[in-house]
Amino acid sequence: MSHLAHTVAVRATGVDMFFGTPDNQVVALKQADFEARRGELIMLVGPSGCGKTTLLSVIAGTLTPQAGTVEVFGQRLDGLGQEALTTFRRKNLGFVFQSFNLIPTLTVVENVMVPLLIQGRPYDEARERSLALIEKVGLKGREEGRPNALSGGQQQRVAIARALVHEPPLLICDEPTSALDKDTGAHIMQLVRDLSRSPERCVVVVTHDHRIFRFADRIAEMEDGRISRVVDDPKLLDTSHL
Amino acid sequence: MYRLALNMLFGDRAKLAMLLCGLAFSALLMAQQSSVFFGIMSWTYTPMVNIRAQVWVSDPMVEQVNDAKPLRDTDLGRVRSVDGVAWAAPLHTSFVQARMQDGNFKLITLVGIDADTFAGAPAVLTQGRIEDLRLPDTVIVDEWGASLMGRMGVGPDGKPRSTPLKVGDTFEINDIQARIVGICKVRRAFTGGPFVYTTYDRAKGYTLGARRTLSFMLVEPQKGVAPAELCGRIERDTGLKAWTSDTVIWNWGERSLARNTFWWFWTNTGIPFSFGTAVLLGLFVGIAISGQTFYSFVLENLKYFAAIKAMGAGMGVIARMLFVQAFTAGLIGFGLGAGMAQAIGRVMIEKGMPPFVMFPQILWATFALVLGISFVSAVIGIIKVSRVDAASVFRG
Ligand SMILES: Nc1ncnc2c1ncn2[C@@H]1O[C@H](COP(=O)(O)OP(=O)(O)OP(=O)(O)O)[C@@H](O)[C@H]1O
Ligand SMILES: [Mg+2]
């Protein structure tokens, strides 16, 4: 048991999350249990509306569930105040949002720098690290452009660079390859997967994209607000909804 | 992060331009409206500016400079004997009808100054010499009055003239000829009417009916005697009222006649009210416009601030980012607006219409208001961002 505890990166137990008023309630998560291990890239799949994004938000500490416990790298999130949750996110999390949320008035490199600057890193250092990563995601030459001048796939790569730049222990990606072609998607997933290969790290990826399943160590299937099954091999998945 | 905050602000040139236009326009409106207001109010004590003397002495009942209560000629001697008085000169001011060449009448402000000292003479003559006032039947007219009265003149061909009166032209005051020997530059007065300068003795002639013609006495203190102190002595020794002549609105002394005149108009006329409402309107419109533009700027950036918050920026950092943005925009907007107000003001002062007095205090007040608006907008933005659900950034 103690050995097991040591290998757990994220553990959510008995999580309930509903939205709306009591008489008009939407149940997003119902007694959901989820576990991700250190050094692992785990994918979350399931039909639209089954609660994937909601589960990510709960793990990220941006949504507080009505019931259940969440633990990330040994830290319990339930009971933490807003400021403590903010500090937790700043130190531990990288995000790739479903709708990239790039800031249109900033340049590409400035967008990537944001997490480093939030951490209080010096501007020049932040810029240097961001430029290096932009090159890695294949956007060299676009650093000083505006996100809106990029294609959807390029914007997504900027979002991924922004999520990776501060090397967060927990990387959370909501549909990171939805706008990428097969080769670029594979290239990006390789980057993400390399990042996960360390006991201090963990990557959770929500996706519909079966082409990238091969990068997953494990795949958790979601259905009606809970994890229904966890498999090691993509071939075992029920892919009827994809 | 602050550098990014600025880049966010400057990133969208079109929106920034809108924001700055709104702020600049309201700063302009506020500065310009209050300047015109104070310009009009400062017209009330124009004689204090045009007739230069350190100390004015009047009848004890006098409350403001446009309403003189005549003194006895013997009062002059009593004032001259007060300790600390270097000299005292008589001054006559009255409103009289002057008959123009075309036969029509025009109300003028007649100023009679002492022919020996020329105390109270206009500061700037654009034509002629002050000494020529010692010639018979002579007057000096102000520039603006000369052009007004010129329109009531008759040219050599017998047709109405369109040029201003000039040295050598004549008109009549109470059937006595007035020959122009000089044109001076003076400030416009609230009571309207051209300023017509002549000697004190000749003014007596021009106002034949008047029993007493000594409106004020202009007094020069001896070296080392402060005007305010001398005023006290004159009042104690003669029972008359003595005033200082400072006209600097934010720095005038207790005994300033300009100050008394200003406040007399403030309390006894509807001017402050009617013009004050225009100023207030300008303020409200200004506040509304800049507040609105700021608010929409904040709303447009709300979801990006939410993303920054989700990525782990505390509210403290976000608050400071918003303040940096608001104050930067406020500063630039104020600069543009104040600059425009200055430029427009310069044109107005040149034309003399409408009156325009832009004290540094008006600029400071506008500055404070614009920064206040920026501050409030930033606070509203901060409240909005603090309420925004960080999880909302995950949704599409
Ligand atoms: N803030 C909210 N208010 C009301 N209902 C919500 C809210 N967020 C999510 N829901 C509901 O909760 C359920 C789960 O939503 P969620 O976004 O987690 O689904 P998802 O699995 O990410 O779907 P997709 O694949 O389309 O992104 C849905 O029925 C959704 O309508
Ligand atoms: Mg989703």
Nearest-angstrom CA–CA distance, A87 and A81 = 10
Identify the CA nearest to A9 among candidates A172, A227, A155: A172
Nearest-angstrom CA–CA distance, B91 and B74 = 14
B218, β-bridge pairs: B56, B89
Which residues of chain B are within 8 Å of residue A87 when distances are taken between CB atoms? 312, 314
What value does the mean pLDDT take over residues B178-189? 89
Residue A239: what pLDDT? 61
Q: Which pLDDT band, with edges at 50, 70 and 90, does A23 fall under?
A: confident
Nearest-angstrom CA–CA distance, B181 and B169 = 8
Pocket of ligand 1 (CB under 6 A): A 19-20, 26, 28, 48-54
Show the tokens assigned to A25: 């309630």
Residue B41: what pLDDT? 83
Residue A240 has pLDDT above 70, yes or no: no
Q: Which of A15, A25, A43, A50 to probe ligand 1 with, by most ligand atoms within 8 A of CB?
A: A50
Instruction: Give the ranges where chain B is alpha helix by DSSP (H).
Output: 2-11, 13-43, 46-50, 75-80, 143-150, 200-206, 227-238, 257-268, 271-310, 315-351, 360-387
Domain-wise residue ranges, chain A: 41-52+85-236
What value does the mean pLDDT take over residues B185-200? 84
Which of these CATH numbers, 3.40.1260.10, 3.40.50.300, 3.30.1360.200, 1.20.1440.230, describes A41-52+85-236? 3.40.50.300
Nearest-angstrom CA–CA distance, B153 and B121 = 26
Residue A62: what pLDDT? 86
CB–CB contact A60 B310 (8 Å): yes
Q: Which pLDDT band, with edges at 50, 70 and 90, does A205 fall under?
A: very high
Residue A50 has pLDDT above 60, yes or no: yes
Residue A242 has pLDDT above 60, yes or no: no
Q: Indicate which atom in ligand 1 lies nearest the CA of residue A20.
A: 4
What value does the mean pLDDT take over residues B192-211? 84
Residue A143 Cα to ligand 2 middle (Å) = 29
Nearest-angstrom CA–CA distance, B97 and B206 = 10
Parallel, antiparallel, or unpaired: how do β-strands A226-231 and B124-128 relate?
unpaired
Q: For the segment A89-113, what is each residue's pLDDT rounded down to a tens digit?
A: 999 999 888 788 899 989 999 999 9
A218, β-bridge pairs: A42
Nearest-angstrom CA–CA distance, A76 and A72 = 7
AA letter at A31: Q
Residue A15: what pLDDT? 94
Nearest-angstrom CA–CA distance, A29 and A18 = 7
Residue A220: what pLDDT? 94
Angle, helix B271-310 to helix B315-351, in steps of 10 degrees: 150
Torsion of CA B359, B360, B363, B364, to 10 degrees: -130
Q: For the segment B330-389, what is each residue's pLDDT rounded down to a tens digit?
A: 899 999 998 998 888 888 777 766 677 777 888 888 899 888 888 888 888 888 888 887
Q: Give percent of chain A with pLDDT exceeding 90.
A: 55
User: Is B344 exposed, middle or buried (CB count within 10 Å of its CB: 0-12, 13-18, 19+)?
Assistant: middle
Average pLDDT of chain A to the nearest whole number:
88
Residue B57: what pLDDT? 92
Average pLDDT of chain B to the nearest whole number:
86
Parallel, antiparallel, or unpaired: how do β-strands A218-223 and B176-185 relate?
unpaired
Residue A71: what pLDDT? 93
> Which region among A14-18, A125-129, B302-306, B325-329 has the lowest average model confidence (pLDDT)?
B302-306
Phi-psi region of B173 (alpha: psi -120 to 50; beta: other; left: phi over 0): beta
What value does the mean pLDDT take over residues B32-42? 83
Q: Concatenated DSSP letters for B98-133?
A: EE-TTS-EEEEEEEEE-TTT-TT--SEEEEE-GGGG
Q: Is the previous residue joined to B221 through a cis bond, with omega within 30 degrees of 0?
A: no
What value does the mean pLDDT take over residues B46-51? 84
User: Is A145 exposed, middle or buried (CB count within 10 Å of its CB: 0-12, 13-18, 19+)?
Assistant: middle
User: Is B396 exposed, middle or buried (CB count within 10 Å of its CB: 0-12, 13-18, 19+)?
Assistant: exposed
Domain-wise residue ranges, chain B: 2-42+271-394, 47-246
Nearest-angstrom CA–CA distance, B278 and B285 = 10
- Chain B, residues 300-319, CB within 8 A of chain A, namely 301, 303-304, 307-315, 317
Q: Order of strands across the sheet with A24-37?
A: A24-37, A8-21, A67-72, A75-76
Mutate to test the interface with B, among A103, A172, A208 (most CBs of B within 10 A): A103
SS3 for chain A is: CHHHHHHEEEEEEEEEEEEEECCEEEEEEEEEEEEEECCEEEEEECCCCCCHHHHHHHHHCCCCCCEEEEEECCEECCCCCHHHHHHHHHHHEEEECCCCCCCCCCCHHHHHHHHHHHCCCCHHHHHHHHHHHHHHCCCCCCCCCCHHHCCHHHHHHHHHHHHHCCCCCEEEEECCCCCCCHHHHHHHHHHHHHHHCCCCCEEEEECCCHHHHHHCCEEEEEECCEEEEEECCHHHCCCCCC
Q: Which of A54, A55, A209 to probe ligand 1 with, by most ligand atoms within 8 A of CB?
A: A54
Identify the CA nearest to A9 among candidates A41, A31, A32: A41
- Chain A, residues 128-157, CB within 8 A of chain B, namely 146
Phi, psi at B167, each rounded to 5°: -55, 130
Phi, psi at A221, each rounded to 5°: -95, 135
Q: Which residue has the tokens 């905050």?
A: B5
CB–CB contact A93 B396 (8 Å): no
CB–CB contact B307 A90 (8 Å): no
Residue A2 has pLDDT above 50, yes or no: no
Q: What is the ipTM of this complex?
A: 0.83
Q: Which helix (H) or strand (E) holds B255?
A: none
Residue A1: what pLDDT? 42
Nearest-angstrom CA–CA distance, B36 and B278 = 10
Q: Which pLDDT band, with edges at 50, 70 and 90, does A68 fall under?
A: very high
Residue B353: what pLDDT? 66
A21, β-bridge pairs: A24
Q: What is the DSSP letter of B134?
A: G
